Chain A
């Protein structure tokens, strides 16, 4: 599958300057997003998924800073854009749906007003045309009675409806990439499934790429084309969806799979990954996952692994490096 590259991220390094030190939230990651694909990004909470997403929009604010790397969208470096270029880029080329539908919409403006706004920023249209388009979008995301909803305020809608509004807003300018940051985490299980189905349907309909962020591997199964597994600000495995579920390479991916309730053999006993996520404020030697890894050897604790290719899967683990058999 030789697909056209839409976004290319090279050595992205995002850090937060906090009172007790420099926190490295995203630690030099590189990946690509292809046109029209669904890329899943999975990892425990705190591993840098949201920060990666916000970095793509160059939306990291002090005390945070993108300290290094490039983000190329159609060959243009997003990190080098000036304020005006950024404004016409955000919401237009890349749009984002956030995790918290309850607080991500502005409580004092109507739903319609907030969708109109993004349309009118990026297109020269009359308020009437914007309204028509907004109602059409509300219909597209399966919101009943769109004309009536147009004039309602966020607090009058349920969580699922608000997330649909967020999606409608994100789709308003036909973005090339839609980033969904844990779009269903805050929703009821039944609503979760509906929203995921909607996202999947829209992707087909609108021919855009989707970056679906989640801490739950189960969410992306059968939706994503490719999956990136993140751990402590690094990409530890990158593979097509089927490979991740049938042939996980990294010990962390294995552990994540085991902790999906329906896949573990004994449903009464939920598998938990032992140990704690490393403190991102500290410098580490060796592999970041080593303290929690059941395969860890001496080399894992002292030498940083480098990325290697196994079949079509990229993995960051000593196990797959040449000297593993003879390693101490």
Chain B
């Protein structure tokens, strides 16, 4: 198990390093000059050169990269070009919002998806199954912004029991979490149904029944643990995309999260924020994959003992 963890950690570090290079190169080859954007074309050449020097943008790219890397390791991404606030401070404001929203939505989605997906698998082919799958398809195909707005109109404007948008009301998270949770829950329900059906048809299920294991335990113990690998993969993917910031939902509900921070930065070509949010996404990707990989090891002895030959 230790060898497995170490090899996964090593891979994680390499991926992160590559991510810093890619982030750096992409931002620097993208067209448009950030200094000109920043000074809004009123500046003369001398002024531009001075700012460029201050920001270290006159040095060779390779030096710039190492500057960037050494600072990034200390979580220093400089100031925002547009309002001079340290990037880290902006992230420190946006991140807790996103993580709260993301984790609640994930919890909602996981409970909803696993319950509904399992029910659907156990009652496959019946009306329950068909009804659940119909609702799931509806949830997946309805645009998020449309569904969000319907909820805003009904609960916010019509019933007036929940805030339409903003983050000041104590119940501000209810609608966004509902939108995200239902959507991801519906997506996962379909996959969980498939994984559960696959596990349910295995020989060991018949063995368990022949031993006298109760039906509910057959599903909750024998089947769910076998189906949990694809389920974990999917939950990991969901967590990743929720923590990168739910752009549409943050926009519709006026939430100041990572998604909004990233989109605004791209719009205003705020290089330091773009770099920081890109690295943040890469970091999330690596960390979450690492956690998912490690839970694979916990869930499946074949991975744990043979050291990840999957």
Binding site for B on A (CB under 8 A): 57, 59, 83, 86-92, 95-96, 98, 100, 103-110, 117-118, 121-122, 153, 155-156, 166, 169
Contact = CB atoms under 8 A, between A and B. Distances in A.
Interface of B: 202-204, 206-215, 222, 225-226, 299-302, 305
A121 B211 contact: yes
Contacts of A92: 212
26 contacts: A59-B209, A59-B210, A86-B212, A87-B213, A87-B214, A89-B212, A90-B211, A91-B210, A91-B211, A98-B203, A98-B206, A98-B207, A100-B203, A103-B204, A104-B206, A104-B207, A105-B204, A107-B226, A107-B302, A108-B300, A109-B225, A110-B301, A117-B211, A153-B302, A155-B305, A166-B207
Given A96-B210, A106-B204, A107-B302, 4 more contacts: A59-B206, A59-B209, A59-B210, A98-B206
B202 A103 contact: yes
Given A92-B212, A118-B212, A105 B302 contact: no
A122 B204 CA distance: 19
B207 A106 contact: yes
Given A153-B301, A153-B305, A155-B302, A90 B212 contact: yes
B208 A169 contact: no
Contacts of B299: 108
Nearest to B222: A106
A117 B203 contact: no
Given A153-B305, A156-B305, A104 B204 contact: yes
A106 B226 contact: yes
Contacts of B214: 83, 87
List the 9 closest A-B pairs by CB distance, nearest first: A91-B212, A91-B211, A103-B203, A106-B204, A153-B301, A90-B212, A118-B211, A87-B212, A104-B203
B213 A117 contact: yes
Contacts of A122: 212
B210 A90 contact: yes
B301 A108 contact: yes
Nearest to B203: A103
